[in-house]
Amino acid sequence: MNGFLSPVQVLDALAALADPIRGRIVLALERHELAVGELAAALQLPQSTVSRHLKTLVDAGWVDARAEGASRRYRLLTGARTSPTGRLWGAVREGMASLPGATHDAERLRAVLAERRSASRNFFSTSAEAWDRLRVELFGARADVLGLLALLDDALVVGDLGCGTGAAAEALAPFVHRVIAVDRSQEMLALARLRLDGRANVELREGDLEALPLEDGELDAALVALVLHHLADPAAVLAEAARVLRPGGRLLVVDMLPHDREVYRLEMGHAWLGFDRETLERWVCAAGFERLRFVPVPPDPAGKGPPLFAASARRAVAAAAPTVLPTAAPAVAGASH
Ligand SMILES: C[S@@+](CC[C@H](N)C(=O)[O-])C[C@H]1O[C@@H](n2cnc3c(N)ncnc32)[C@H](O)[C@@H]1O
C-alpha cells in the first residue's frame, strides 16, 4: 500500500479491519513486533485463529512478516503518519481502541513482553559464569575487542610500521580509510599480501623503519606493534614516525614490559628485554610527541609471553625540533632491557 490509495484500495483496506479480532491484532501490533504465540496469548485466542486473521491483514497490506529463526514476527505497516495507510489508520484508530477487549489486550501484552524480557534475563542468570566461554565458542577469542575498532574515526590513514604478516592491518582495514603497512622483510610481506588479498584500502610498502617509505605528514596514526624491541635505535625510529605523522597525529606503540627472558635475544633476535614507561617517555618526548599514555595491557590467560603495554602519544602541533639523543646502546642500557 505505497503511494496514493485508490477508492477501491481504501475500501479493501477498511474491509480487512472490519472484524473486531483483526482490529485488536492491529492495535497490539501498533507498538510491538510480535510472534503469533505472543499475539495469541495477549488476545487469549487460539494460535490458528490468530494466524488466519494475520493472513488477511498481510494480504490487505496492513501487516508485514519477517522470519526470525524458526518463527515469524509480525509488525504493522502503517509507517509514517503521512503514508496512505498511516493516514487511514489515524482515521480509524480511535474507534478500534474502544473495541471491547482492547484495554485487556494491552494489559496482557505488557505481561507477554515482560515474559520475553525475563526469558533473556533467565538465560543470563543461569549462564552468567559460562558466558565468557560461550562467547569464545560462538564468536571467537577476539570478539570482545574487534568490534571496538568501530570507535576509530573512519577517515583515518593508519601506518602499520613493521607490519609483519599483516594481522593488525587486516583488523584495522574495515574500520579506517586506508592502511599503509610497511616492513623490510620480503618473507613477511609475502604472507601479508596473501592475508590481505582483496583488501582494496591496504597498501603494502617494503622499507626500513629508520627511513620510512612515507611522505612527511602522510599518516593520521602510526602503529608500532611488537617491533621496538628488535630495533638497534628505537629513539631514531620514533623520530622517523613523528616525521610521517601529521601534526596532532597519533602514535601507538605496543610492546613488552621489562622482563628477564634473556633467551629471547638468541632465539628471536630481541635487542631489548622490554621497556619501562620512563625510557619510552624520554624517547617519545625527544621525538616531538606529547600527552603520553602508558597502559599495561590486561594479560590474556592464553598468552605465555611477558605482559604488554600500549603507549600512545600525539605529535605536537607546533613541532619542537626533535632532541638529539645519544645513539641507543641496548647491550649496556639500564633496567628496561
Ligand atoms: C615480531 S614482528 C611483529 C609484526 C607485527 N607488527 C605484529 O604485531 O604481528 C616484527 C616485524 O618488524 C619487522 N622489522 C623489524 N625491524 C625492522 C626495521 N628496521 N624496518 C622495517 N621492519 C622491521 C620484521 O621484519 C617483522 O616483520
CB of 183 sitting under 6 A from ligand 1: yes
Ligand 1: centre distance to CA 164 (Å): 5
The rounded distance, in Å, linking the Cα atoms of 127 and 183 is 45
pLDDT at 252: 98
Pocket test for ligand 1, best of 228, 230, 238, 255 (most atoms within 8 A of CB): 230
User: What's phi and psi for 95, nearest 5 deg?
Assistant: -65, -40
Element (H, E) at 66: strand 63-68
Q: Contact 60/13 with Cβ under 8 angstroms?
A: yes
At 12, the amino acid letter reads: D
CB of 184 sitting under 6 A from ligand 1: yes
Q: Angle 78-84-87 (CA atoms, 0-180°, nearest 5)? A: 70
Q: Which CATH architecture has domain 139-315?
A: 3-Layer(aba) Sandwich (3.40)
Name the residue ranges covered by the structural domains of the chain: 7-128, 139-315
Residues of the chain short of pLDDT 70, as ranges, are 1-3, 79-83, 319-337
Ligand 1: centre distance to CA 183 (Å): 6
Among protein residues, the one with the nearest Cα to ligand 1's atom 12 is 162
User: What's phi and psi for 179, nearest 5 deg?
Assistant: -120, 130
pLDDT at 331: 42
Return the closest-CA partner of residue 283 out of 250, 258, 253: 253
CB of 164 sitting under 6 A from ligand 1: yes
Ligand 1: centre distance to CA 184 (Å): 7
pLDDT at 183: 98
Per DSSP, the residues of 91-145 read HHHHHHHTSTTHHHHHHHHHHHHHHHHHHHHHHHHHHTTTHHHHHHHHH-TTHHH
pLDDT at 301: 75
At 225, the amino acid letter reads: A
CB of 105 sitting under 6 A from ligand 1: no
pLDDT at 136: 86
User: What's phi and psi for 329, nearest 5 deg?
Assistant: -130, 85
Grid look-up 573512519 returns 154
Q: Is the dihedral of CA 108, 109, 114, 115 positive or negative?
A: positive
Q: Just give the CATH number of 7-128.
A: 1.10.10.10
For residue 9, CA distances in Å to 15, 19, 63 come to: 10, 17, 15
pLDDT digits (tens, 9 = 90+) for 223-282: 999 999 999 999 999 999 999 999 999 999 999 999 999 999 999 999 999 999 999 999
The rounded distance, in Å, linking the Cα atoms of 106 and 112 is 10
pLDDT at 90: 83
CATH topology identical between 7-128 and 139-315: no
